[in-house]
Structures are given as structure tokens and as C-alpha cells.
Structure 1
Amino acid sequence: MTNRREFIKKAGIGTVAAAGASTLAAPAVLGQAPIKWRMQTYAGPALAEHVIKPHIDMFNQAAQGQMEIELFFADQLVPTGELFRAMQRGTIDAVQSDDDSMASPTEVTVFGGYFPFASRYSLDVPVLFNQYGLKEIWEEEYAKVGVKHISAGAWDPCHFATKDPIRSLEDLKGKRVFTFPTAGRFMSQFGVVPVTLPWEDIEVAMQTGELDGIAWSGITEDYTVGWADVTNYFLTNNISGAWAGSFFANMDRWNELPDHLKVMLQLAMDASHYYRQWWYWGGEADLRVNGTKLELTSIPDEEWQQVEDAAMVFWDEIAAESPTKAKVVEIIKKYNSNMQKAGRPYRYT
């Protein structure tokens, strides 16, 4: 009995010691320095308050000290046109942008931002990515260049905000407009003169006369970032119903993350896309009806049809450039054909 009691006592002490060691080890793990990332967005501070900052703040809170993302605004660390290279090199760990603006050297770059008339409504973009195969194409193309494509979503439409009224295609001729590379390339055939400037310089450029207009966003963004204060008119015709934008990360940094942090990042970024969908959609209608800063103008449908017809030619020109581009154009054509055949409420024309 004595030996038995001694054995139980020793076993109990060992169990307590093991439990104590486990308890003491936990704070050491939690106390390790957090994983730190630097992320730069294409958006300036006012816009970032809606399109990215709240969800990065939420991620940092949910990560509970295991990871922290430091957010930088447009052109704060590097110019927007150099974002891809900086991320690829690891100077920046992650980026929020469209492919077009950050000049990514991939076969899909031309489709980021505003590929003319590929999307008519904000839901088109996530459906194209998640149900029609664009997600897999983007992931493959970016993996080739050492970048992780994390998530794509629909953002705002592309309208002209101008100093002078636009009521015909003739009124567009000679207008110096801040816009996206692909949108500028497409609209130049109608006399638009695309101008590239840092995002933060746009408001001043409108005031000094360096720019005649902006074709970068919808009316929600015009009001949010102050562009409605330096323009007078808003053209209701758009060349795209929704911007295709994404979150990206340096592939090595992404692969270093524990799986649970990858999931948390994905959730935060998807939440950001969702917020943007309803924030832009509701704002576009409300500010057209109740906004007091911009007068609405329109180009007649029969005249604007020339722009839509030109987009179909543009699609084929892009498709001829490579097999990958041809594959993406074919998907966009198939999707839009299905939407037209489905009729109301998917397409009204």
C-alpha cells in the first residue's frame, strides 16, 4: 500500500508539472512579435475610409496580436503605377488595386479597372470570377510572377465628371481627362485625351485647368473625395457598370502565413468587397436624385450606341493579342449573352 501511495503521489506531481509547463508556455507563444505587413491601396485617405481602412482595422483586431497590417494610402510609399513591382520585390507585402492602374505585367491586366462594357452592374464582377472561371485564370497568371491574387470584387461604375456639360460625343473631343489606362485607350477614339496624374493631385489639376474632367468613378466617389466640388456636370452614360478590383500579396509572404490568418484575410477582404457593393449602389441613386453639387447630363441612347458598338470591336482587338486574353474575352461574351437572354431583371436592353 505504501508503494502504491508513493506511485500515485509521484504521478500526480508529474501531471501537475506537465500542466503547469503547458500553461506557462502559452503566453510565450502569444507574446511573440506579431507578423507585420505593409499594404498600400490605390485610394486616397477620404476614399480609403470606406473602401479598405475599416476592414483592415477589423482584421487587426481579430488577429489578436498575431498579425498586424499597416495601411498606406495612394502614392504614400510608391506611385500607384509602381505598386505591382514593389509588391513583387517584397517592398510592400500587399496591395489593393486594379490590375490596370498598378501596371501588372500579366495577360489579364487590360481587364482590370474598367474594361469597356464588360460589366453592366456590380454583381457581374463576382459572378464572372466565381462562377465563370475568371478567378482561376487570375490566380494562375499572378502565380507566374510571384504574386498571390487573393480576392476580386466589384466597385463603382465609370462616369465622366466634367467642368463643361457633355451632351453629345462631339463634346468629348479634346477633353483632357484623368482616367484608367484601358479606359483612356478605348475612349481616345472619340477624341478624349487621357491624362495620368497622382491621385492626390486630381482636385488641384481640375482647379488649375490642367484637367477638363475625370472618368475614374461614379457619383458616390465624386462626392466622397471632393471631386464634386471642382466639377459641375455628371454624365449619366457610363463605359462600365462596375470596376474590377482586387487584393494581392507577395507570394512568399502569403505562403508564410498560418492557414487561419489566410482565412481571416480572405474574410476581411470579401467583407470589404461586399461593403463597397451596397455603398456605391445606394449612393449612385441617392446622389443623382438628392445631390446638389452636380448637374446630370446625358448623351442620347442612339448616339451612345456608337460607343457600345466600338467596345465590341475593342474586345476582339484585345482577344487577338494572346490566347489568354482570347479566353477571358470569350468568357465575358458568354456571360453577357446569357444575361441578355435571361432578360429582366438581368438586362433591360
Structure 2
Amino acid sequence: MKRRNMLKAAAAGIAAAPLAMTATTAEAATVRLRMQTYWGTESDEIHDEFIDDIKTSSSKTLRVKRFRGSELVPNADMMQAVGKGTIDMCQGYSGYWPGQLDIASIEAGLPGAWTDYDEAQYVMESKGLIDLIREAYAEKGIHYLGPIMGGPFDLLTTKPVKSLEDLKTMKIRATPSIAKVLEKFDIPTVYLPGGELYLGLSTGTIDGVIYAGTNEYKALKLFESAKYYTFLNMVNPGYTDDMLINKAKWDGMSPEHQRIIEMAYAKHARKMHTWMVSGSIEAGTEGLFEYNSLSEEDSQRLRTAARVIWEEEAAKSERNAKAIKILEAAAKATGRA
């Protein structure tokens, strides 16, 4: 009797063994990625959907854990961190690292670069700007999945602004690439991460920000200290995020996992752009902001100043010169040059 029971137990163990081995193999094969964005809680829903899409499409063999802005590394250090493998992925903004990547300011969206979403996509996809950007990131050990077109990119201040002259007595938060333009008009600038904008405005450390549109300003509750929104009319979409992944990690993935990430990114890029634009339109109906626009003369002065920066960017590298030629051709084709 005991022998019979022992045989049954042994048989059961043999039958269970393949299942146990399968589970262990599947667990070992699961790819886990750590991703940081510069966004805070305001984008949780849309980033959670991106992560769920990857998990579901891969039958849970590909997992992404998202961290909010500066939770792992400072936002301005995300590119370096991805290149070194300190973090695996990021949704970043290349305006944070113009000194680290020759094409960064061009990728971020130079003032006057494009006038609408379709033109931006045309420049990126049809005319090959995306290939030049991908080449630059590859040299840093990073695979560039592609751009995420933003929404409006305008000025929010604690006091009304009617002209560029008014800004000379204010301290404006700006990324390095935009700061270059403003400094040509003797407008003081400083850089602060997105998570510090509320404190900066509420304490008077800064008098204004150029960060995004009313959607993001509303989410960050900046209207509690600064309600004056000024259209700059420099570029639309006003900024370009990017999705980056460590190249060694990418190259080591199966083609199936690569395809899943590419498809999830493409869906996320479309939804994020729609979210930012529609959110800004909706926020404009709620009476949180007072609106004004720079005169066409001042807006043109900004765009003209930016053209000097185009020349500076073109001189940085042969790759940049090619990128600027693409922008110049598009400007000419649309009657802007």
C-alpha cells in the first residue's frame, strides 16, 4: 500500500515538473524595464495605459515600471542615465540636454521650425529628420524610438505681459534652448525642473515660466500664483518629447518585444499629443487664465532671433547642418522663408 502511494506521488511529481519548469522559464524570460518621465502625477493615467499596453501585448513577458520626474535621476540627466543603463528608458525632452547631444535643440523644436502637427510630422518622417536624430542618439548608446509631439508652448506669468519689453524686469524659467532666444532681448532666465515651478512662482523666485500650455499649467495648479497666459506664436507644436531606450537593452530584445514597444510607443505618442492639445483647449473654457498675445511684430522678432540660433545649430556638426537644411526647405515650401 505504501509502495503504491509512493509510485502515485512520484508520478504526480513527474507530471508537475514540466509545469514548474515552464513557469520558472517564463519568469526568467520576463524583461523588466525601469522608465522615468519628467512628468508628474498629472500624466499618470496616460502613462499607466502605455505600460498596460506593453504588459498585455507581451502576455506579461515585458514589464515596464514608470517613475515620475526626478524620482530616479534629475530630469536633465535622463539621457546620460539611459545611455549608461542606469535607467532603461525615459520619456524626456531634449531641451534639457543641448550640451550633451549636438542635435538636441533641433529635436526639441526650434522656434519657427514648424507651424502645425502635420508639418512637424512631414519634417520628421518624410524628410528624414528622425533618421538624423536616431543616428545622434545611437552614438550615445541610446535607441531613439521617436518623437512625441507636444501641445502649446507659451508663457505664464504673475503679471500681465503686453510686449517683450515687459519681460526685461521679470525672471523667466526656460530651457537652455529657449533661454538663448530670450537672452537676445536681455530677458533674465533661469532653469527649474517642472516639479519646482509651483514653489518658484508662489515664492517669487521666478515671475514666469515657458513650460507648456494651459493643460499642463492647470494640472500643476500654477494658476494659483500665475494666471496671465501669453501666446508667443513661436512654434506649433511648441515642443517635442522623445522616447529613449538603452541601445544594448534594445538590441538584446527579441524582435517580438521590440515590435510591442514600437507599437505601444506609436499609440502613446498619438494619445499624448491629443491629450495635451485637447486639455489646453478645455482648460481655456474654465476661466482660470487671462489671455493675451504678443504682437505680430514681437513674435516675428522672436522668430528672427531664432534664425540666428538656426545658424549656430547648423555650425555645430555636419549632421546639424543637414537638419537645418530640412527645416529651411520646409519653411520655404510653406511660404515662411
Alignment TM-score, normalising by the size of structure 1: 0.85
Residue 276 of structure 1 is matched in structure 2 by: 272
Task: Give the letter for the 1:275 counterpart.
Answer: K
Unaligned runs of 5+ residues in structure 2 are 1-15
CA spacing shift, 1:198–1:305, aligned 2, 3 Å: closer
What amino acid sits opposite 2:248 in the alignment? D
Measured after TM superposition, the shift of residue 45 of structure 1 is 1.8
Q: Secondary structure at the match of 2:184?
A: helix
8 Å Cα contact 1:39/1:72 also seen in 2: yes
1:215 to 201, 210, 215: 210
Look up the match of 2:254: 258
Structure-2 change in CA distance of 1:54 and 1:174 (3 Å): farther
2:39–2:69 contact (8 Å) kept in structure 1 = yes
Alignment of 1:334-345 (within 5 A): 334-340=329-335
Q: Partners of 2:50 and 2:251 in 1: how far apart? A: 21
Partner residue in 2 for 1:37: 33
**For residue 65 of structure 1, what is the amino acid of its counterpart?**
K
1:28 CA displacement? 5.1
1:107-147 Cα distance to aligned partner (Å, 9 max, x none) = 21121334112122233332222111011111211111211
Decide which of 173, 180, 189 is 1:194's aligned counterpart.
189
User: How has the CA–CA distance of structure 1 residues 210 and 165 changed in structure 2, closer, same or farther, with 3 Å as cutoff?
Assistant: same
CA distance in 1 between counterparts of 2:308 and 2:82 reads: 34
- What is the CA distance between 1:254 and its match in structure 2? 0.6
Match of 2:117 in 1: 122
CA distance in 1, matches of 2:299, 2:247: 43
Instruction: Report how far residue 227 of structure 1 moved.
Output: 1.8
How far is the alpha carbon of 1:61 from its aligned partner? Answer: 2.8
Match of 1:319 among 301, 314, 334: 314
- The answer to which of 311-320 and 75-84 deviates more is 311-320
Q: Distance in 2 between matches of 1:338 and 1:103?
A: 28
C-alpha contact (below 8 Å) 1:163/1:231 kept by paired residues: yes
1:292-348 per-position Cα deviation (integer Å, ceiling 9, x unaligned): 11100122213322222222222123212322211111101111222338xxxxxxx
Contact 1:38 1:70 in 2 (8 A): yes
- In 2 relative to 1, CA 47–228 (structure 1 residues): closer, same or farther, beyond 3 Å? farther
Alignment partners' CA distance in 2, 1:260 and 1:173? 54
The separation in 2 between residues aligned to 1:104 and 1:152, in whole angstroms, is 19
Whether 1:84 and 2:79 are equivalent positions in the alignment is yes
Secondary structure, in 3 states, of the residue corresponding to 2:234?
strand
In structure 1, what is the equivalent of residue 5 of structure 2? none
Q: Which runs of 4+ in 1 moved over 6 A?
A: 20-25
Of the three residues 241, 246, 256, the one matched with 1:245 is: 241
Residue identity opposite 1:75 in structure 2: S
Structure 1 residues 241 and 21, CA, compared in 2 at 3 Å: closer, same or farther?
Answer: same
Residue 95 of structure 1 pairs with residue 90 of structure 2: yes
Between 151-160 and 97-106, the greater mean CA deviation after superposition: 97-106
The correspondence for 2:147, drawn from 127, 130, 152, is: 152
In 2: Cα distance, 1:174 partner to 1:110 partner: 26
Amino acid in structure 2 at the alignment position of 1:95: C
Distance 2:232 2:290 in 1: 13
Give 1:102-113 correspondences, 5 Å limit.
Answer: 102-103=97-98, 105-113=100-108
For 1:46, which of 42, 49, 60 is the aligned residue? Answer: 42
**AA aligned opposite 2:305:** A
Percent of residue pairs identical: 22
How many angstroms apart in 1 are the aligned matches of 2:331 and 2:293?
24
8 Å contact kept, 1:114–1:239: no
Q: Secondary structure at the match of 1:75?
A: coil
Q: Please, which of 163, 170, 176 is the counterpart of residue 171 of structure 2? A: 176
Whole-angstrom distance in 1 between the partners of 2:20 and 2:35: 34
Paired with 2:99 and 2:257, the residues of 1 have a C-alpha distance of 26
Cα distance in 2 between the residues matched to 1:306 and 1:65: 52
Structure 2 vs 1, CA of residues 31 and 169 (structure 1 numbering), >3 Å: closer, same or farther? Answer: closer
Residue 323 of structure 2 corresponds to residue 328 of structure 1: yes
- Post-superposition shift, 1:164? 0.5
* 2:10 corresponds to: none
The 8 Å contact of residues 125 and 153 in structure 1, kept in 2 or not, is answered as no
Query: Counterparts of 1:53 and 1:111 in 2: how far apart (Å)?
Result: 29
Secondary structure at the counterpart of residue 149 of structure 1: strand
Determine the C-alpha separation between the residues in 1 that align with 2:258 and 2:334.
34
Aligned-residue CA RMSD (Å): 2.3
Task: Give the number of the structure whose alpha-carbon radius of gyration is greater.
Answer: 1
Question: Is contact 1:160-1:215 (8 Å) kept?
Answer: yes
In the TM superposition, what is the alpha-carbon distance from 1:102 to its structure 2 partner? 4.1
**Is the aligned partner of 1:164 residue 2:159?**
yes
Distance 1:66 1:36, change over 3 A: same
Secondary structure at the counterpart of residue 340 of structure 1: coil
